[in-house]
Amino acid sequence: MSGANDSYDPKQVAILAPEALEAALTEAERDFAAAGDLAALAAVRPAHLGDRAPVPSARRELGALPPAARADAGKRVNATRGALERAYAARLAALTEERDARVLIDEAVDVTLPVARRLPGARHPLSVVAEDMVDVFLAMGYEVAEGPEVEGEWFCFDALNIGADHPSRSLMDTFFVDPPDSGVVLRPHTSSVQARAMLTRTPPMYVVAPGRTFRTDELDATHTPVFSQIEGLAIDHGLTMGHLRGTLDHLARAMFGPEARTRWRPHYFAFTEPSAEFDVWFPEHRDGPQWVEWGGCGVVNPRVLRACGVDTDTFTGFAFGMGIERTLQFRHGVRDMRDMVEGDVRFARGLGVGT
């Protein structure tokens, strides 16, 4: 075609020639493809897409063509330029993606490194067990009753139908505040809270009382002078031993799973009549499923109700209590009572979180 108009500058005619445009595009595509990274691509860009590059500058030559040839050449130049820009954009996108992928790999960390700057804390396992049990009772509508740990003898004994001559009421078993006739002891059981609850609340009442208790045992693998119990008391119209069993069975299932249940053995307690000791069927015992001694229970002795101001014609009640240490012991297979009282952080960390 260039041959058709010999009066024009051959160079200008040459770039507008289809072959020349084709060649420029091919060369650009080759250079873009050869660019291995974004920097190389940026480096070759001016040679093909810069203002002075052949194809962009070809547009400026169009005006020199005769009108008949101008439209035709203009279309050709635009098409070539479009192809050139698409080739560049595609290569740019590909290289950007490559670069991004490489950066994310480079920035990767080892997520298995230790992350805790601080040693973990823990609740004490005895607290956790007590709260677990309290929560079961809260869900049944019980409230948490409290009483002093340093308590009047009357609340610990007389109120519970334990007379002045009872063996447990001696310096051999119970801690007395000095002088021994002070009438004040360290409560030997949480049952004293029963008496306080009855004297301060109006039936019907359903209360549970977890807390610390004290007896003059030396610390060894199976005894501790300071231990903890949880006591329950319900006073209502028409309560029976059946309701007591239902309550203990429910607690057993809530604590130890759907297979758990209780078994009663007749026993004697001054403050309940009839009385029983109860065992729980504990499927998860480390020596295999078995009955485990858990606590004592019974129908509140009418003498206790009367001493604590409850109308025995209208109300009956039941009471029960168990050792928190004992519960912890079999639930977690704790072998030595001393582990529970010495405050070794390894014990609490091992059992105290999320149990």
Partner 1 sequence: MRIPLSWLAEYVDLPTDEVAVVEQALIGLGVEVEDIHRLDAGMSGPIVLGRVAHIEELSQFKKPIRYCRVDIGGEDLQGIVCGAMNFAVDDLVVVALPGSELPGGFAISARTTYDHVSDGMICSARELGLGEDHAGIMVLPADPDARPGTDARLALGLTDPVLELSLTPDRGDLLSVRGLARELGLGLGVASTDPAAVDQPAWDGAVGHEVRVADPAGCPRFTGLVLTGLDPEAPSPAWLTRRLTQAGIRSVSLPVDVTNFVMVELGQPMHAFDLDTVHGPIVVRRAEAGERLTTLDGVDRALVGGRDLLITDDSGPIGLAAVMGGLGTEISATTHRVFLEAAHWDPATVSRTARGHGLFSEAAQRFERFVDPALTVPAIARAAALLVEYAGAEVDGGLVDLDERPPRPEVRIDAGLPARISGVDYPASTVRSVLESLGARVVEGEGAELVITPPSWRADLSEPHDVVEEVVRLTGYEAVPSVLPTAPAGRGLTAAQRHRRSIARTLADLGYVESPAYPFVGDADFDALGLVESDPRRNTQRLANPISDAEPLLRTTMLPGLLKSLRRNLGRGQRDVALFEVGRLAVPRTERTNAPIPGTRAQPSAEDLAAIDAALPAQPWALALVSAGAYEQSGWWGPGRPADWSDLLAALEAAGRAANAQLRARKAAIEPWHPGRCAELVVEVDGVDVVVGHAGELHPGVLAALELPAGACAAELDLDRLPVAPVPEAAAISAFPPVRLDVAVVVATDVPAGEVFDALRAGAGELLEDLRLFDVYTGAQVPDGAKSLAFALDLRAPDRTLTVEEATTARDSALAEAGRRVGARLRS
Does the protein bind partner 1 through residue 180 (CB under 8 A)?
yes
| Span from 38-46, 51-59, 86-94, 111-119 in contact with partner 1 (CB under 8 A) | 111-119
Coil, helix or strand for 182? coil
Does the protein bind partner 1 through residue 243 (CB under 8 A)?
yes
Does the protein bind partner 1 through residue 143 (CB under 8 A)?
yes
Does the protein bind partner 1 through residue 130 (CB under 8 A)?
no
Q: Of 239, 159, 153, nearest to 197 (Cα)?
A: 159
Query: Which residues are CB-neighbours of 45 under 8 A, at least 6 positions away?
Result: 88
Exposure class string for 35-49: b at 16+ Cβ within 10 A, else e: beeeeebeebbeebb
| Span from 51-59, 62-70, 126-134, 324-332 in contact with partner 1 (CB under 8 A) | 126-134
Answer yes or no: are the C-beta atoms of 210 and 296 closer than 8 Å: no
Does the protein bind partner 1 through residue 140 (CB under 8 A)?
yes
152 or 323: whose CB is closer to partner 1? 152
Instruction: Kindly state the smallest distance separating residue 297's Cβ from partner 1, in Å.
Output: 11
The C-alpha atoms of residue 259 and residue 261 are separated, in whole angstroms, by 7
Residues 315-344 that bind partner 1 (CB under 8 A): 316, 341-344
Query: DSSP characters for 78-105?
Result: HHHHHHHHHHHHHHHHHHHHHHHHHHHH
Pick one of 59, 176, 255, 355: the residue that binds partner 1 (CB under 8 A).
176
Is the link from the previous residue into 179 a cis peptide, with omega within 30 of 0? yes
106 or 218: whose CB is closer to partner 1? 218
Does the protein bind partner 1 through residue 206 (CB under 8 A)?
yes
Bridge partners, residue 341, by sequence: none
Pick one of 183, 283, 289, 333: the residue that binds partner 1 (CB under 8 A).
183
Does the protein bind partner 1 through residue 216 (CB under 8 A)?
yes
Instruction: Kindly state the smallest distance separating residue 327's Cβ from partner 1, in Å.
Output: 16
Does the protein bind partner 1 through residue 301 (CB under 8 A)?
yes
The C-alpha atoms of residue 157 and residue 166 are separated, in whole angstroms, by 9
Answer yes or no: are the C-beta atoms of 126 and 322 closer than 8 Å: no
Does the protein bind partner 1 through residue 204 (CB under 8 A)?
yes
Q: Tokens 């098409």 correspond to what residue?
A: 79
Does the protein bind partner 1 through residue 313 (CB under 8 A)?
no
The C-alpha atoms of residue 344 and residue 125 are separated, in whole angstroms, by 12
Does the protein bind partner 1 through residue 179 (CB under 8 A)?
yes
Pick one of 69, 80, 161, 233: the residue that binds partner 1 (CB under 8 A).
161
Strands of the sheet containing 205-214, edge to edge, are 143-144, 205-214, 226-236, 316-323, 290-300, 272-282, 262-266
Instruction: Kindly state the smallest distance separating residue 64's Cβ from partner 1, in Å.
Output: 60
80 or 301: whose CB is closer to partner 1? 301
330's tokens: 């079999």
Residues 249-288 that bind partner 1 (CB under 8 A): 249-250, 261, 263-268, 273-276
Does the protein bind partner 1 through residue 153 (CB under 8 A)?
yes
Instruction: Kindly state the smallest distance separating residue 135's Cβ from partner 1, in Å.
Output: 10
Q: How far is CA 27 from CA 46, 87, 155, in A?
A: 13, 11, 103
The C-alpha atoms of residue 144 and residue 300 are separated, in whole angstroms, by 19
Residues 49-108 that bind partner 1 (CB under 8 A): none
